[in-house]
Structure 1
Amino acid sequence: MRVEPVGHIRSQWGEGPIWFGTHLYYVDIEGRMVHRYNPEDGSEKSWPVGERVGTVVPRAGGGLVIAGDHGFSFLDEETGALTPIADPEADKPDNRFNDGKCSPDGRFFAGSISLAKITGDAKLYRLDPDLSVHEAFAPVTNSNGIAWSLDGKFAYYIDTPRKEVLAFDYEDGNLKNLRSVISTAHIDASPDGMTIDADGNLWIAFCHGGCVSCFDPAKGQEIHRIALPCLETTACAFGGEDLADFFVTTGVHKTAKEEHAGRLFVIRGLGVKGVPAFAFKG
């Protein structure tokens, strides 16, 4: 197994990696950028978006959707133009959108974070293909990783301060029957971005912890932990031609001097594969 930085971009706070087509997309929240990395030739492309952007997902018909300071917007990959969709928290200047992903049925789930750290002042939202926005789950404080089970019947979700993974029954865009399936209290760090592998296990990046860990949601047990050379490990995604490469975004720590902080990392030889990401159908 090899852990190494790739590309040349150094983000202030990298987040939200997602593999689609032949590229890895991710964001730099504080740098106000969306990035695209092509591992085939090492090329990179960046789009300045003029706002703190928490996550990016592909559209089924082409282009991207982002969620950030000003809510949901379309991003044209060719021109870089942004087209606003909706901002459900325009009345909350101390909140912004954070992590998010699309469900198997093509809805975009993204949640907000209370930058003032007001407990319960944020929410998880659902953007439907008809561009209507709905409250999916509340209250939350720091909405983070979300993933769906391999059969699409369950959604897994992280509200970071809870230090646990929540599970819901999922049907027609609705999250029901809330329960806790994993506790991360034994790890002295904050659970952040999350993805699922082809075996149905969850991989979680731990902010301030310099690691990613794999959990079995059926048993609630930690299976494997991988250390990275940066304290601020923020999110993760499988990618590459056969989804066997494991990408991890990182951020720059406020005080620690780390050579590769803010870089995109790839872990090869992990021995597991991911599953294809879902696109927004709107």
Structure 2
Amino acid sequence: MNQKTKMLPLSKQHTIFMKPLLYLFLFIAISSCKTKILPQVKQYEASLEYETKSQLGEGAFWNHKTQELYWVDIEGMQLHIYSPQTKTNRSLEMPSRIGTVVPSAVNAKAVVALQDGIYNIDVHSGDLELVSEIERDIPSNRFNDGKCDPSGRLWVGSMALDQKQYEANLYMVTENGEATLKKDSVTISNGIVWTKDKSTMYYIDTPTLEIKAYDYDDATGAITNERVAVTVNESLGFPDGMTIDANDMLWVALWNGNAVVNYNPKSGKLLSKVEVPAHNVTSCAFGGPNLDVLYITSSSLDMTEDEKEQYPFAGSLFKVKLDVKGVKGDFFGSAGK
């Protein structure tokens, strides 16, 4: 017996036929809007440069005179000097936590921020000479990050060991040991850089998720007109150490973010992203003979067992070759550069 094929009403046939086309048109329209609205973020991938298990690698600084990378392990209480040419890393044991390092204008010297003050150090012998006792009377704090301004003064910030809010400060320290409080009520003082025309300073207090901009007077070290230059989306991670390129664009390491991100501080826009095979990325510095290699430090702390398995090189040094160049970092002391 023949059975007639049951036909749908014409209106329903049109509906069924049109739905896939409608979805396709919607997809194209949405994709087109996203293309117009979302910024085009350039992607890079960092590679392992030197395998090590630093606890809290930090403070990356390229010594352009010796072609070496200075960096620290805060919790491991070590100053490191890495040579990319020989792939060797020389370490100096410190008597306490070391928050940052900057080479000195005096050859074979550097300035370091230890837990009880600021010191000059001979990078060969490890001999220390006290510069300033700031925060020696606050044993619940330690120094975290710092860099020198264009006149060679060290700007260094602190943080509470228990990361308690608003317990830390930012200071400016001269080579003669004169220390000036520049900001109080800080939580985790971090990345700090200056533009090439010396007119603007950028600064990070990590938990705020903001990069602040200040008008900067190099003659006096005065900072004024505080404003937010960049707000980091929390989904990316927390802004940590920071460097600046020759175009005055910012490169920011992301704690809990597996990356370094590049922002335009004039617009606040994300320009590019460097994926790093480490969960907690802590600092970065342009180096190499042409200042076009970004060296990146990381931490092996504060990770779950799954994250430790996923990122076996956490705590190591990484690098990426970029199509932009950095600038020479300012040394500690009156010579500046």
Which bracket does the TM-score occupy, shorter chain normalised?
over 0.9
Query: What is the CA-CA distance between 1:135 and the residue it aligns to?
Result: 0.4
Between the aligned residues of both structures, percent identity stands at 38
Contact 1:49 1:82 (C-alpha < 8 Å) held by counterparts: no
1:141 and 1:31 map into 2 onto residues whose CA distance is 22
Query: What is the CA-CA distance between 1:251 and the residue it aligns to?
Result: 0.5
Task: Name the counterpart of 1:77.
Answer: 123
- 1:7 partnered with 2:60: no
Structure 1 gaps of 5+ residues are none
Query: What is the CA-CA distance between 1:120 and the residue it aligns to?
Result: 1.3
Q: Deviations over 1:195-235 (max 9, x none)?
A: 00111100000001111100000111111112111111001
Contact 2:169 2:183 (C-alpha < 8 Å) held by counterparts: yes
The runs of at least 4 consecutive aligned structure 1 residues that moved more than 4 Å come to none
- 1:55 partnered with 2:103: no
2:163 and 2:275 map into 1 onto residues whose CA distance is 28
Task: Name the counterpart of 1:264.
Answer: 317
Of 196, 199, 202, the residue aligned with 2:247 is 199
Contact 1:119 1:140 (C-alpha < 8 Å) held by counterparts: yes
Contact 1:137 1:175 (C-alpha < 8 Å) held by counterparts: no
- 1:158 partnered with 2:204: yes
SS in 2 for 1:100: strand
Query: What is the CA-CA distance between 1:43 and the residue it aligns to?
Result: 2.3
Task: Name the counterpart of 2:282.
Answer: 234
Of 134, 141, 148, the residue aligned with 1:102 is 148
- 1:217 partnered with 2:265: yes
Query: What is the CA-CA distance between 1:9 and the residue it aligns to?
Result: 3.3
Larger Rg: 2
Aligned CA RMSD, in angstroms, stands at 1.3
SS in 1 for 2:46: strand
**One-letter code of the match for 1:250?**
S
SS in 1 for 2:138: coil
1:26 and 1:163 map into 2 onto residues whose CA distance is 24
Contact 2:54 2:300 (C-alpha < 8 Å) held by counterparts: yes
Q: Deviations over 1:146-179 (max 9, x none)?
A: 0001211110000011110001111121111111
Of 261, 272, 297, the residue aligned with 1:249 is 297
Contact 2:157 2:170 (C-alpha < 8 Å) held by counterparts: yes
- 1:40 partnered with 2:40: no
Q: Point out the structure with the larger strand share.
A: 1
Structure 2 gaps of 5+ residues are 1-43
Of 135, 138, 151, the residue aligned with 2:184 is 138
**One-letter code of the match for 1:51?**
S
**One-letter code of the match for 2:82?**
Y
SS in 1 for 2:235: coil
> Once structures 1 and 2 are overlaid, which stretch shifts more, 142-151 or 127-136?
127-136
TM-score where L is the length of structure 2: 0.81
SS in 1 for 2:185: strand
1:38 and 1:89 map into 2 onto residues whose CA distance is 33
TM-score where L is the length of structure 1: 0.96
1:173 and 1:11 map into 2 onto residues whose CA distance is 34
1:9 and 1:186 map into 2 onto residues whose CA distance is 29
SS in 2 for 1:161: helix
2:45 and 2:276 map into 1 onto residues whose CA distance is 11
Task: Name the counterpart of 1:278.
Answer: 330
Contact 1:55 1:66 (C-alpha < 8 Å) held by counterparts: yes
Query: What is the CA-CA distance between 1:188 and the residue it aligns to?
Result: 4.0
Equivalent pairs, count:
281
